[in-house]
Chains A and B, each alone.
Chain A
């Protein structure tokens, strides 16, 4: 099946810093989502971005489908940004619903 690798696995920031999280995938995709899992387990949708660039407030994401990677940018980080960030993809020509998740990046933002 498709492989999803996220980096870095752990990241510690001071409040106000910027960061970039990366997601590499091993095959062409027709679905890519970024999620934030808060400390209580809730997965929050951040971006649906199989290609291109999107921005939402302090967050933005870029997917370069031809090179099989996606980046999530967090600017002016806040303590509430802490949690695990997951990238999930669906292989092109696949089942049309089977999201494969990476192992996540654990982000800790200190005050």
Chain B
């Protein structure tokens, strides 16, 4: 248990569906991150939020839409995904910006059919 929770843990969706992934951190951190882990590829940073403000969009397609209503919650809204978007989506948080530890949630395993 790292103090970062994600729901759902598994999700199967069709290409025309709309769904959302949720992340919540109980660590009092101010920065939150979305990462994507595809099969046989390193983890890739997708989005970064610092004090609810987005500071990084790592060239992510617009079919992924993040939302950070407060420093404890982070969402990833999904719509019209492609089968190649199937992956493990990991949320992380850190106390602040800077070269400090990031703590990860358990991930949501997404399958797009």
A binding-site residues for B, Cβ under 8 Å: 4, 30-31, 33, 35, 40-45, 48, 50, 86, 88, 90, 95-104
- How far, in whole Å, are A103 and B104 apart by their CA atoms in the complex? 17
| Shortest CB distance A95–B (Å) | 7
The answer to whether B103 touches A41, judged by C-beta atoms less than 8 angstroms apart, is no
The answer to whether A97 touches B106, judged by C-beta atoms less than 8 angstroms apart, is no
Q: Which residues of A contact B45 (CB under 8 A)?
A: 98-99
The answer to whether A31 touches B106, judged by C-beta atoms less than 8 angstroms apart, is no
Q: Which chain A residue shows the least CB distance to B37?
A: A41
B33 at the A/B interface (Cβ < 8 Å)?
Answer: yes
B66 at the A/B interface (Cβ < 8 Å)?
Answer: no
- How far, in whole Å, are A50 and B101 apart by their CA atoms in the complex? 11
With A50-B99, A90-B99, A97-B97 as contacts: A42 and B104 at CB distance below 8 Å: yes
Q: Which residues of B contact A4 (CB under 8 A)?
A: 42
B22 at the A/B interface (Cβ < 8 Å)?
Answer: no
Q: Which chain B residue shows the least CB distance to A29?
A: B99
B binding-site residues for A, Cβ under 8 Å: 2, 31, 33, 37, 41-43, 45, 48, 50, 55-56, 88, 90, 94, 97-107, 109
The answer to whether B2 touches A44, judged by C-beta atoms less than 8 angstroms apart, is yes
Q: Which residues of B contact A100 (CB under 8 A)?
A: 42
- How far, in whole Å, are A48 and B102 apart by their CA atoms in the complex? 9
With A96-B98, A97-B31, A97-B33 as contacts: A45 and B103 at CB distance below 8 Å: yes
- How far, in whole Å, are A103 and B40 apart by their CA atoms in the complex? 8
- How far, in whole Å, are A30 and B43 apart by their CA atoms in the complex? 19
- How far, in whole Å, are A11 and B88 apart by their CA atoms in the complex? 23
Q: Which residues of B contact A43 (CB under 8 A)?
A: 2, 90, 104, 107
With A95-B56, A97-B48, A97-B94 as contacts: A45 and B101 at CB distance below 8 Å: yes
- How far, in whole Å, are A57 and B45 apart by their CA atoms in the complex? 31
| Shortest CB distance B7–A (Å) | 14
